[in-house]
Structure 1
Amino acid sequence: MERSYSLLLLFLALFSLKSFNLLCSAADPTDGFTPVPLTEANFVLQKPYNGLDCSSGVWQFEGYGFVPNGTSSVTVAQIHGAFHGATTLILRIYDGNMRYYSGDLVATDPYDKWFRLNIIHDVDGGRLTVFIDGEERYSTHDQGPGDLYFKCGV
């Protein structure tokens, strides 16, 4: 247990949830979104996880992460809630690779460097898109509608 804490993913939650009416191809995945800054007024760790209604529209998570070398089987980010299961997205580190759940490859060699993570969830369109450092790295269908909320880190 103590080892897992020492390997804890260092994840700064410099994040914001953003809503937008249409997904568009842009140089930066945040183009066109309205930021909701993280402040003392809206930050209570994991609570209230349901403070925003994410059941429709297009939402975006942005955060910065750092994965220490050798870390494995840890979660970087999640979208909780789905029609078909408990989550609609989990990004995890397995043996030096970031994967969608434990399957599809999202990014390689995330160790020992800071990266910017953006996740766009088009709830109405049923689509998830993952960006690493502004580059689209993965896209897939979601797991269906549900009581959705973003979560970052272990």
Structure 2
Amino acid sequence: MAASRLVLLFAVVALQLAPAHMPTCAADPTDGFTSVPLTEANFVIQKPYNMPLDQRYSFVNGVRRLWVFDDDEPFQAGNPTLPRTEIRFTGYDYSSGVWQFEGYGYVPEGTTGTSIVQIHRDTNGATEMMLRVYNGELRNYRTAVVATNVYDRWMRINVIHNADTGEVRVFIDGVQGLQVVSDKGPATFYFKCGVYTQNDSSHCMESRWRDIKLYMK
């Protein structure tokens, strides 16, 4: 009996001495969302139009590897955009509601100046949000830093988009790293991931992905 009281006393003291700023368990970004079914038909690969698929994309043991070079051709002949090898998720374009992309992403050291995740829109500018890698940092476009030290490690990346309010939130490994409210207005949207050449890029750009899911609520 005395031992039980002593254990209880230690527990109470420990709680009283614990700092007020100790972290608490945060909600998972996918709480309240429902995953939507995905098959390979939903994964459309956009790659340099003149290259065989296996020269810019592989899917082995559950890992999707995408790479591109800064002197590659665009994904369509005559298209003025820069080189890319991206997964364009089809079947789930949306213009309302709250949608979420989730995937475990890996960026090898040396890759820079590339978008690895974007929310594409059909009006008022091409994108709603773009996560780019610059010298080991993950940024929203070229400004807000979302995460640091991103090279050579798997990151759980969650991008939540409320199409009704324009709010976008990004979580890295379950921790919110970005919140932005867009003023670009209504549109039809879809998610993409991979590599898409941006400013000051490396010659070769690569990202790898596994356990990709889409959610809605």
* TM bucket, shorter chain: 0.7 to 0.9
Is the alpha carbon distance of 1:41 and 1:80 closer, same or farther for their aligned partners in structure 2, counting shifts above 3 Å? closer
Partner of 2:134: 94
Partner of 1:39: 39
Q: What is the distance in 2 between the residues matched to 1:42 and 1:82?
A: 19
Aligned with residue 124 of structure 1, among 156, 164, 167: 164
Partner of 2:181: 141
- Report SS of the residue matched to 2:34: coil
Q: TM-score, structure 2 length as denominator?
A: 0.55
Residue 107, structure 1, aligned to residue 147, structure 2: yes
Amino acid at match of 2:192: K
Task: Give 1:82 shift.
Answer: 5.7
Task: Give 1:74 shift.
Answer: 1.4
Task: Give 1:75 shift.
Answer: 1.1
- Report SS of the residue matched to 1:125: coil
Partner of 1:18: none
- Report SS of the residue matched to 1:153: strand
Task: Give 1:43 shift.
Answer: 3.6
Aligned with residue 92 of structure 2, among 24, 33, 52: 52
Is the 8 Å Cα contact of residues 118 and 129 (structure 2) preserved in structure 1?
yes
Task: Give 1:125 shift.
Answer: 1.3
Q: TM-score, structure 1 length as denominator?
A: 0.76
Partner of 1:29: 29
Task: State the identity as a percent.
Answer: 57
Task: Give 1:122 shift.
Answer: 0.5
Q: What is the distance in 2 between the residues matched to 1:42 and 1:90?
A: 21
Is the alpha carbon distance of 1:107 and 1:48 closer, same or farther for their aligned partners in structure 2, counting shifts above 3 Å? closer
Q: What is the distance in 1 between the residues matched to 2:96 and 2:171?
A: 21
Q: Deviations over 1:109-141 (max 9, x none)?
A: 101100010000001011000000111110001
Is the 8 Å Cα contact of residues 99 and 106 (structure 1) preserved in structure 2?
yes
Partner of 1:66: 106
Task: Give 1:147 shift.
Answer: 2.1
Higher normalized helix content (fraction of residues): 2
- Indicate the structure (1 or 2) with the bigger Cα radius of gyration: 2
Q: Deviations over 1:44-95 (max 9, x none)?
A: 4368755224100000000111011121111110001164311101000011
Residue 152, structure 1, aligned to residue 213, structure 2: no
Q: Which runs of 5+ in 2 are unaligned?
A: 1-25, 47-86, 196-217
- Report SS of the residue matched to 1:92: strand
